[in-house]
């Protein structure tokens, strides 16, 4: 168990969380806009077209930005310092909020290649999507 707040999938987002449980990444795609979409929505953002479909992506991407948090962003993270809070830009296009794991703060640089790390929380039925530097 964890005392950190965990996500609760919604009817629309459930396929995303289901794919993470399978250690795969599926996000939405709008054929009319020719764009991947994240986070999951009921209609395509910008156009509001009703054509979103689920597609699997590799989840590989680059480190768009990050910060090294030496003070917890909230009490549940007080024993998880430093927090390596990151934004990853997927090769598929959209950006995703995440944390970097298996790395030293000093080695992080904007633009680095990163790869997914699937972190299972069986008690919560949730898999979180974290990132590490690409091998």
Residue 93, CB half-sphere, CA atoms under 13 Å: how many?
A: 13
- Residue closer to other proteins by CB (options 60, 68) is 68
Q: What is the closest distance, in whole angstroms, from the C-beta atom of residue 73 to other proteins in the complex?
A: 5
Summarize as ranges the residues that interact with other proteins (CB under 8 A).
4-10, 13, 39, 64-77, 80, 83, 85-87, 95-99, 105, 109-111, 126, 128, 130
H-helix or E-strand spanning residue 36: strand 35-37
Cβ atoms of 90 and 39 closer than 8 Å:
no
Q: What is the closest distance, in whole angstroms, from the C-beta atom of residue 126 to other proteins in the complex?
A: 8
- Residue closer to other proteins by CB (options 9, 15) is 9
Q: What is the C-alpha to C-alpha distance for residues 16 and 21, in angstroms, rounded to an integer?
A: 9
- Residue closer to other proteins by CB (options 75, 135) is 75
- Residue closer to other proteins by CB (options 24, 124) is 124
Q: What is the closest distance, in whole angstroms, from the C-beta atom of residue 89 to other proteins in the complex?
A: 10
Q: What is the closest distance, in whole angstroms, from the C-beta atom of residue 74 to other proteins in the complex?
A: 4
Q: What is the C-alpha to C-alpha distance for residues 93 and 116, in angstroms, rounded to an integer?
A: 15
* 3-state helix, strand and coil shares in percent for the chain, rounded to the nearest 5: 10, 40, 50
């Amino acid at each position: 168990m964890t005392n950190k707040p965990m996500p609760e999938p919604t009817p629309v987002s459930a396929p995303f969380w289901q794919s993470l449980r399978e250690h795969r990444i599926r996000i939405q795609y709008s054929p009319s806009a020719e764009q991947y979409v994240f986070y999951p929505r009921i209609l395509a953002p910008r156009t509001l077209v009703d054509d979103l479909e689920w597609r699997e992506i590799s989840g590989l991407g680059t480190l768009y930005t990050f910060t090294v948090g030496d003070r917890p962003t909230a009490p549940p993270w007080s024993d998880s310092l430093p927090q390596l809070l990151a934004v990853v830009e997927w090769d598929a296009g959209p950006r995703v909020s995440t944390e970097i794991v298996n790395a030293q703060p000093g080695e992080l640089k904007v633009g680095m290649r990163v790869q997914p790390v699937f972190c299972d929380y069986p008690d919560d039925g949730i898999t979180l999507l974290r990132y590490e530097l690409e091998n």
